[in-house]
Amino acid sequence: MSEFVPVASADEIAPGTCAEVWVNDKPVALCNVGGRFHAVGGRCPHRGGPLGQGSLDGAVLLCPWHAWDFDVTTGATQMTSEIQLERYDVHVEGGRVLVKVP
């Protein structure tokens, strides 16, 4: 059974930015969209780029390697409907961001 794991301080990840965090040996892209945190799979399905090192434009995360784009609220990409990032539950407790990865 998975549980929420603390991964960062909420003030470490400013609105409009992402960070690469690790949960249960899995890379996760943790993104702050207007003060709300979203967590998605940390490797781009295109070529394995580190999504947590990408840039955020609104809710759209761009892979730093080949600029594939992903909506962090849904995990979807405009590149193809057949690819979708895993999304993970996130909550903030006592100023810490916690992520639940199965």
CATH of the domain at 71: 2.102.10.10
- Structural domain span for residue 36: 4-100
SS3 92: strand
Q: What is the pTM of this model?
A: 0.94
The pLDDT assigned to 2 comes to: 76
pLDDT along the chain (102 residues), means of 10: 90 97 95 98 95 97 96 93 95 97 86
Domain count, the chain: 1
Give whole-number Cα distances, 87 to 37, 72, 90, 94, 99, in Å: 11, 8, 9, 23, 10
- What pLDDT does 92 receive? 97
